[in-house]
Chain A
Amino acid sequence: MSVTGPKLQPSLFELSRPGRATPRIPTPPAGALDRLPAAARRATPPALPEVSEPALVRHYLNLSQLNWSVDGGFYPLGSCTMKFSPKVNEWAARLDGFAALHPLAPDEVAQGTLELLWELEELLAEISGMTAVTLQPAAGAQGELTGILMVRAYHRARGDLARTEILVPDSSHGTNPATASMAGFRTVSIPSAPDGGVDLEAFRAALGPRTAGVMITNPSTVGLFEARIVELLEMVHGVGALAYMDGANLNAILGHFRPGEAGFDVMHFNVHKTFSTPHGGGGPGAGPVGVRELLAPFLPAPRVLRGPDGRFRLERPGERPTSIGRVKSFVGNAGILVRAYAYIRAHGADGLRTVSDDAVLAANYLKHRLAGTYDIPYDRPCKHEFVASAASLKRETGVRTLDVAKRLIDKGYHPPTIYFPLIVEEGMLIEPTETESIETLDAFAAALIEIAGEARTRPDLVTGAPHTAPVRRLDEATAARQPNLRWRPTTRVGPEERS
């Protein structure tokens, strides 16, 4: 490994040489495959790379050094909640009792995991003020689909087939309207009010007998608590529709606001955001869904049940015919849920409330430090994240948010979320989370302020950034015009056959 900085690596296929792979198991008996019909057999072996274990380790270790990570540095990505992933959770998930358990193993040998999952449902129900929870969805988006399919099932069960629309604010995360489409609904996009919240009158005009439900992110995607939430929920229920809450921003309101108690009918959690399960470079996560009583009959199957004798079991097929069915094979991403469970048990009620208090305090502190240098479109206390804008900077210097973001890389920071939500021009959505020290917050603010200065004195430094990352700006146009999505050998070299 280079001591002078991370180095790009050749691909595994380029490292491959015939015969180099490290054998892992004994040689199988000769002729083991002879009983298979020739027509079903593979004619040529797959040209997978052959690398020794030392070469493999070097390859991946060096590649890891090309990555930004929470473990490596500050990651102020708004809407992603890049908090620290506690290491005890990694230990827990790897306990053999959890890791080696087959999902179809009989209930009586799975009592440990079933109890953990059952208890996690209770914990999430209490945190959200909901009656019942499913842990099945593999991600927030799959949770959204699950929730909206339950809304669909609810209306159909009432015999109301006229509910064909889902209302979504134009500031929403793209998964919301995509979910509505997947569930067979038409999305009606509602413009946001100038203060960043929902436009009640626009909602009122759009709500009606065709509305199946609304999807609201609260706090909103600009980090503001929806002050008009009570009126909005009343209006929604008043037309017989249901209210879905996108729980991506739950980190702001733990212990302060319980969506089910406030009147939301269904919501999803992103455990890889609020409950610290690691982001993994893009998953895996989990997207449990909480519902109020009226939707409980429609929860995905199988549910985790506890018997009067205190023993746990999974619902049997067909036991609850009103269920919407399943969205994936088994009961959920249990390996991820173990981590979320450990996190919640480590915090307790006071701990979770402190998480939100500290997250909100840190975001407001950072916003305060940046006001005056960057535009702050919403001039009131934010929750766990806030939007800053480089619109004025762009007008004065030509330097855009994209350039500021890339220059932050040179300063040693991962850029914040940029150009989301779409309702803010040249927006930067910044979410520090509660696990960053005040020194980190101060240093980050100083770096952003420095870049604003550079935009005026040395704009080329900013527009040409990054200069110090392992690679410069990439040619994304060619990548999309002439997609190269897999390694292609120039000459095929097959592996050596054994037995």
Chain B
Amino acid sequence: MAYGPHTDGDRARMLAALGIPSVDVLFDDIPPAVRAAGLRLPPALSELELVTHLRWLASRNRVDLASFLGAGVYRHHIPPVVDQVLLRGEFYTAYTPYQPEVSQGTLQTIYEYQSLLAELTGLDVVSASHYDGAAATAEAALMTCRATRRERVLVSRGVARQYREALETYFAGPNLAFDEVPLVAGGPAAGTSDLAAIERLLAAPDRPVAGIVAAQPNTLGLLEPMVEIGRLAHAAGALFVAVVEPVSLAVLAPPGAYGADIAAGEGQPLGIPPQYGGPYLGILACTDPLVRQIPGRLIGQTTDADGRRAYVMTLRAREQDIRRERAASNLCTNQALCALAAAVYLAAVGPAGLRDVAATGAARAAELEAALAGAGAPRLHGGPYLNEFAIRVPDAVAVHRRLLARGILAGIPTAELEPDDPALRDGLLVCATEVTTPDEIELFARALRDELEAGAGERPGARPAAAGEAVR
């Protein structure tokens, strides 16, 4: 066995104390009909073999590309001090802080995380974390139904497709309904939530709306009219859920400022590497009146028997171990170490540093926009964006693949982002952050110009868009 301390001598001593000849006796209560014959697994690897194998697997991923891919997961410079803190065994091999007297480290770091996110979001109650942005958004939508006792939610198509899909899955069980709010098709507000459509959707008196969910920035990188959406929601007695990107909150108005009742989002940009999808950090925050509705752990400040300031998990009666089938959510394990990463990241960069990250991304994105427009790919939309936007590229899926062969990860084809939106068939969603370099921008622009000119030089119909081209 790979890591345990027991020698045959140790085992013999324990068996002797129990008065049994072998450990098999302890498995006699497994009915013979269901006793396993053994496992057919590859032979055990020594540590050297394991290391070699894992290195080989990792090398088969290409992470050296000039990447302009965002779409909810963003590359940022993570100060190495973050990982140094995460590598403390006292943090990463600790358990959930059910015994607060021996868990003040974890408890205080999570309380600080809650406080930091409260500052960023402008909402006072922040849960100790959820699985990821999609799960947090689904839970936020469920909260609106519980709080208003209504059964229908409006979700903007400006919210990322994966989030809408997760919401659909979470809504299936309790038989709740949601309608999608379309995006404006053309004009200056193109690509943002259609306010007139929201008004129409709110107008059904026999189907009252519990909440409206919109994202800022939205899935196309555009800034949404959050104040107006919030107003429409509240006028109809609904709650307003804002899906947010945390780095942007350094420079954009936070949910608390524009009347959101609940904020959800993906905390990955705060010091967490992409890792092909997780573990990430679901941000979930709400106003004080909704505190009893929020799922997930909450850490509170209190005092001990000697009057010392200390921290403890609180409002536990919301949780599954106490409420069981009446719990709002079955959430147990959360993403505590990821919340710690976010807290250390925020402390490591500081408020001015976070603002600089956002501002640098905005500056690079403006340079990227100019370079790509100069290469023949203007933006698809006209509205303001922070650091992510869509450009017009005919035959985008094929162009994306050819750019990949040239070492450029040109964002993601908008047709893959939103497969059922015909307006997004020929585009690429690209982003820039503080790690994007001018050289990379130039490389992308030059290669894109080549591809666009090669495509334009062909006669229409001479080479059809590759049939059956893989769409993610």
Contact = CB atoms under 8 A, between A and B. Distances in A.
Bound pair (A, B): yes
B304 A475 contact: yes
B403 to A, nearest CB: 11
B196 interface: no
B293 interface: no
B154 interface: no
A66 B60 contact: no
B376 interface: no
Given A141-B320, A328-B131, A348-B44, A283 B5 contact: no
Nearest to A177: B325
Interface string A97-128: 11111111111111111011000000100110
Contacts of B14: 361-362, 364-365, 438
Contacts of A278: 92-93, 337
A100 B274 contact: yes
Contact of A469 (B73, B101, B175): B101
Contact of B61 (A48, A64, A97): A97
Contact of B95 (A12, A75, A469, A478): A75
A193 interface: no
Interface stretch (A235-243, A392-400, A483-491): A483-491
Interface string B316-338: 11011111111101111111111
Nearest to A146: B169
Contact of B299 (A24, A364, A485): A485
B348 A230 contact: no
Contacts of B277: 103, 329-334
B29 A361 contact: no
Contacts of B47: 88, 346
Interface stretch (B132-140, B177-185, B440-448, B449-457): B132-140
Interface string A468-499: 01111111101110011111000000111111
Contacts of B128: 282
B42 A24 contact: no
Interface string B96-132: 1101111111101111101110111000111011011
B350 A22 contact: yes
Contact of B336 (A32, A255, A282, A362): A282
Interface residues of B, number: 203
A273 to B, nearest CB: 10
A470 to B, nearest CB: 6
Interface in A360-394: 360-362, 364-365, 368-369, 380-381, 383
A476 B314 contact: yes
A37 to B, nearest CB: 6
A92 interface: yes
B63 interface: yes
Contacts of A284: 131, 278-279, 333-338
Contact of B359 (A32, A60, A65): A32
Contacts of A84: 3
Contacts of B358: 33
B472 A316 contact: yes
B458 to A, nearest CB: 24
A126 B41 contact: yes
B95 A342 contact: no
Nearest to B435: A25
A85 B93 contact: yes
In this complex, the interface size class of chain A, counting residues with CB under 8 Å from chain B, is: 35 or more
Given A35-B384, A182-B330, A327-B135, A345 B50 contact: yes
A326 B134 contact: yes
Interface string B424-440: 00000000001000000
B384 A345 contact: no
A39 B4 contact: no
A102 B251 contact: no
Interface string B331-364: 1111111101001101111111111111110110
Interface in A19-42: 20-29, 32-33, 35-37, 39-42
Contacts of A32: 359-360, 362-363, 366
Interface stretch (A198-206, A256-264, A447-455): A256-264
Contact of B321 (A80, A85, A174): A174
A434 B6 contact: yes
Contacts of B315: 480, 483
B26 A381 contact: yes
A56 B2 contact: no
B309 interface: yes
Interface string A191-233: 0000000000000000000000000000000001101011000
Interface stretch (B159-167, B203-211, B229-237): B159-167
A485 B124 contact: yes
Given A355-B4, A472-B306, 10 more contacts: A12-B116, A61-B85, A67-B103, A101-B275, A102-B75, A138-B335, A281-B97, A317-B161, A365-B14, A483-B291
12 contacts: A100-B274, A106-B409, A181-B325, A181-B327, A325-B166, A327-B135, A328-B135, A346-B45, A353-B39, A414-B99, A474-B101, A483-B300
Lowest 9 A-B CB distances belong to which pairs?
A21-B350, A97-B58, A330-B277, A348-B44, A71-B89, A280-B337, A284-B279, A112-B60, A67-B105
